[in-house]
């Protein structure tokens, strides 16, 4: 599929990279150990890094402009939107889920780690899931689990942690002060 405009890439000093950067390609191995060579994608990097990697002489669009123009999501926007969805899904997950619902939620999370477009993020999620198993016994438990997982990511990225005692207030009920009413 042709892009509406050509995106030049900075030449790589490594001839094996063919003008791509592994930060953006998600090159690596899948869970079966097979080598993956992924195309350069915006979902794999934040917008600023992607612009640096592509050496595009046009001016950078602000985040607001990117959203208004309905541009492909960079890793930052993808992450924010994904977390919004996951926290909201957990908040509305059943208070007393059936065994089948619990199984499907665990599978959903595992599949997310296989298909998430940011390959570095997906690899981190797969690694976290080895020792930090989803708690699917209720919406409160799942909401807390996602909040703790999100905080692990925030720490990894140098961001502030969220107060997990307020997770349902944030994603389901609205703030106690009524600002969401």
pLDDT by residue (tens digit) across 51-69?
666 665 556 777 777 777 8
In the prediction, which pLDDT does 68 show? 76
Give the CA angle between residues 66, 69, 70 to the nearest 5°: 85
Give the count of beta carbons closer than 10 Å to the beta carbon of residue 114. 11
pLDDT by residue (tens digit) across 110-155?
999 999 999 999 999 999 999 999 999 999 999 999 999 999 999 9
In a domain? residue 153: yes
In a domain? residue 113: yes
In a domain? residue 43: no
What's the rounded Cα separation, in Å, for the pair 181 and 177?
9
In a domain? residue 87: yes
The Cα-based distances of 127 to 30, 33, 122, 153 in angstroms read 12, 14, 9, 12
In a domain? residue 166: yes
**Number of folded domains in the chain?**
1
- 144's CB contacts (< 8 A; 6+ apart) are 135, 164, 167
Q: Which residues pair with 29 in a beta bridge?
A: 35
In a domain? residue 123: yes
pTM higher than the cut 0.75: no
Closest CA to 109 of 154, 166, 160, 150: 150
> Is residue 26 a contact partner of residue 116, using CB atoms and an 8 Å limit?
no
Average pLDDT over residues 95-121: 98
In the prediction, which pLDDT does 5 show? 37
Q: Domain with 142 in it: what CATH number?
A: 1.20.120.310
What's the rounded Cα separation, in Å, for the pair 9 and 120?
20
pLDDT by residue (tens digit) across 156-168?
999 999 999 999 9
Question: Residue 95 is part of which domain span?
Answer: 75-173
> Is residue 60 a contact partner of residue 48, using CB atoms and an 8 Å limit?
yes
In a domain? residue 162: yes
């Amino acid at each position: 599929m042709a892009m509406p405009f050509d995106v030049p890439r900075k030449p790589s000093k490594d001839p094996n990279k063919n003008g791509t950067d592994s930060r953006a390609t998600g090159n690596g191995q899948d869970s079966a150990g097979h080598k993956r060579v992924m195309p350069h994608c915006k979902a794999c990097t934040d917008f600023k890094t992607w612009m640096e990697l592509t050496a595009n002489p046009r001016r950078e669009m602000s985040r607001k402009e990117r959203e208004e123009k309905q541009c492909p999501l960079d890793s930052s926007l993808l992450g924010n939107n994904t977390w919004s969805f996951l926290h909201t899904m957990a908040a509305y997950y059943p208070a007393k889920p059936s065994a089948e619902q619990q199984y499907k939620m665990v599978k959903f999370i595992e599949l997310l780690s296989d298909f998430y477009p940011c390959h570095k993020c997906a690899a981190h999620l797969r690694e976290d899931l080895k020792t930090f198993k989803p708690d699917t016994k209720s919406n409160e438990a799942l909401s807390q689990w996602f909040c703790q997982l999100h905080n692990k990511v925030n720490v990894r990225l140098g961001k502030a942690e969220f107060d997990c005692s307020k997770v349902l207030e944030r994603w389901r009920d609205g703030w106690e002060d009524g600002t969401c009413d």
